[in-house]
Amino acid sequence: MPSIAVVGLQWGDEGKGKVAAYLARGANLAVRYNGGPNAGHTIMYSGKTFRMHLVPAGGLVCGTAAIGAGVYVDLKTLSEELKESREVRPDLRLYLSPRAQVITEIARRAEEFLESMRGERAIGTTRRGIGPTAVERFGRVGLRVADLLEPDSLQEKLRDIVTFWNLKGVDTRALADGLSELFSSIEVEVTEVNRLIRERLTSGGTVIFEGAQGTMLDVFYGTYPYVTSSITTSAGVSIGCGIPSRWIDVIVGVAKSYTTRVGAGPFPTEIHGDIADRIRSAGVEYGATTGRPRRIGWLDIAQLKFAADLNGTDEIFLTRVDTLSGLDRLKVCVGYEGYEDGEFPVTVSELSRVRPVYAELEGWPPIDETKRGEILREGYGALPSQARRYLDFVEENLGTHVKYVGVGPRTEDVVER
Ligand code: GDP
Ligand code: IMO
Ligand code: MG
């Protein structure tokens, strides 16, 4: 499989990092194509836990990573993350696109202002400066990695950004010096990532594209305006890496066995109370970037169908079948009253009014460490029969093959179906 895209099908945190790491065994290059330090990809690999925000999780596994033009880069996060990664993987090579956008203090200040301006309608962003940095890009005042290679004109460019946001009291000299100094301390190779990918693929290599966020947070197709400022669908691979879409051989859509969301915005299958608390604590469902408790809901096949169609999903990787274990019964949303298959509300007011239609299924006994060991030794057949029925049900209703099943947090806690 020469090129595989990993995309989130829900509202983020589906387990994309783990999936990318799993698929990166034997790959030659792992590439991040979208998002920025708003992402938090936790992987357990070689007995250690890593929380990755910018460096592709798959890079820790295959040793060569790249950050494409579609990524918003925070130099401090990148610097810290690279240091930590190289403690365990000293040979890690990281390529950085000169076209990637740089997040500055100015964008974080602008975001604080924009979020507080919205008051109760605040998006609940990660406050990493993503939205304003995206605005700067399309407003044609943004700072790119290539600009850091031309320190003489850096201050002038920063002044333009300050003027753009109409901010006062920003010391652009200090900011320019700080950025230059930090950048020169980071051991990355600035190179056109599109050409690198082309070289790897034409010489028979395998490349993993690791997405950030999820389809429902996409700036075009997500639950706008409660979205992020990136293209989070598989279309983001082509834009964020500079390769034609037809160069992606397989699109793996990642979904949890239930649904979570951090931040504000409508969430049709959201649940509160005992079951939600139980899933949250069993799954340690707290944001990897901000530590906020994640909102919990049942699996939503109406939403997943919309997402799977948008992405052209070839295969599903369903994570956390172990987290959902131990419940007597569980629900799955199979559609919204009055909506066709694959149809999804356009506005948040419409989405907040939908009435999910639920199917009730039997739960399965707890998947603890012993049971997990048995499943990993014996394969898919060792999953509890109710869990297998759940997976069959999801596959039939979604119309996409559920190929991989996550049964634990470690990179290797996977059974193929
Ligand atoms: P991402 O942002 O999509 O990469 O997902 P996060 O890393 O934010 O959240 C997913 C969490 O679930 C991580 O802590 C993973 O280690 C964990 N995880 C992934 N797959 C599984 C699974 O199948 N079972 C369990 N128990 N945890 C999983
Ligand atoms: P990963 O890659 C979950 C959410 C924020 C907020 C909205 C906008 O780990 O799946 P932003 O800071 O991007 O402007 O915030 O998007 N959000 C995420 N939620 N996982 C993520 O990334 C997210 N990245 C952004 O909570 O609701
Ligand atoms: Mg995450």
| pLDDT surpassing 90 at residue 58 | yes
Give distance in angstroms: CA of 332 to centre of ligand 3: 23
Query: Would you say residue 390 has pLDDT above 80?
Result: yes
pLDDT higher than threshold 90 for residue 106: yes
pTM above 0.85, yes or no: yes
What number is the average pLDDT over the span 374-380?
A: 98
- Looking at all shown ligands, the one closest to residue 413's CA atom is 1
Query: Relative to the alpha carbon of 107, which ligand is closest?
Result: 2
3-state DSSP assignment of residue 390:
helix
User: What is the best residue among 9, 219, 254, 262 to mutate for testing ligand 2's pocket, by most ligand atoms within 8 Å of CB?
Assistant: 262
Which residues, in sequence order, are bridge partners of residue 356?
Answer: 336
What are the CA-CA distances from residue 384 to residues 110, 150, 343, 380 (Å)? 51, 59, 33, 9
- Structure confidence at residue 1 (pLDDT): 59
Q: What is the pLDDT of residues 64-105, one digit of tens each?
A: 999 999 999 999 999 999 999 999 999 999 999 999 999 999
Percent of all residues in the chain with a pLDDT value above 70, rounded to a whole number: 100
Going from the Cα of 68 to the center of ligand 1, the distance in angstroms, rounded, reads 23
Please tell me if the CB atom of residue 323 comes closer than 6 angstroms to any atom of ligand 1: yes
Site of tokens 């007597």: 328
Contact 54, 288 (CB under 8 A): no
d(CA 14, ligand 1 centre) in Å: 6
Query: Domain 255-416 in CATH: superfamily?
Result: Adenylosuccinate Synthetase, subunit A, domain 3 (3.90.170.10)
Question: Does position 34 have pLDDT exceeding 80, yes or no?
Answer: yes
Arithmetic mean of pLDDT, 174-183: 98
* Contact criterion met (CB below 8 Å) for 286 and 292: yes
Tell me the domain boundaries of the chain. Answer: 3-95+189-250, 101-185, 255-416
Q: Judge whether 401 counts as a catalytic residue.
A: no
Q: Which H or E run includes 45?
A: strand 41-45
Q: Answer whether the bond into residue 90 is a cis peptide, omega within 30°.
A: no
**CATH class held by domain 101-185:** mainly alpha
* Burial of 143 per CB tally in 10 Å (0-12, 13-18, 19+): buried
If you average pLDDT over residues 43-67, what whole number do you get? 96
pLDDT class for 179, splitting at 50, 70, 90? very high
Q: What pLDDT is recorded for position 410?
A: 97
- Tokens representing residue 192 in the block: 């056109």
Amino acid found at 122:
A
CB 301 within 8 A of CB 308: no
Residue with tokens 């983001």: 236
Element (H, E) at 332: strand 329-336
CB atoms under 10 Å from CB of 30, counted, come to: 27
- Superfamily designation of domain 3-95+189-250: Adenylosuccinate Synthetase, subunit A, domain 1 (3.40.440.10)
Asked if pLDDT for residue 202 goes beyond 80, the answer is: yes
Q: How far is the CA of 409 from the centre of ligand 1 (A)?
A: 6
Q: Is the CB of 262 under 6 A from ligand 2?
A: yes
Instruction: Specify whether 300 is catalytic.
Output: no
pLDDT tens-digit map of 204-263: 999 999 999 999 999 999 999 999 999 999 999 999 999 999 999 999 999 999 999 998
Q: Which residue has the tokens 């948008």?
A: 310
pLDDT of the residue at 289: 77
Over range 108-137, report the average pLDDT.
96
Query: Residue written as tokens 């202002």?
Result: 113
**Which DSSP state fits 80?**
H
User: How much is the pLDDT for 263?
Assistant: 86
User: What's the pLDDT at 290?
Assistant: 81
Is the pLDDT at 324 greater than 70, yes or no?
A: yes
Q: Which tokens belong to 324? A: 């959902």
Q: What is the pLDDT of residues 267-307, one digit of tens each?
A: 999 999 999 999 999 999 998 778 889 999 999 999 999 99
Residues of the chain with pLDDT > 90, as a percent, come to: 97
To which H or E segment does residue 261 belong?
strand 259-261
Residue 165, Cα to own-chain centre: how many angstroms?
28
pLDDT at 37 over 90: yes
Tokens, residue 62: 């295959």
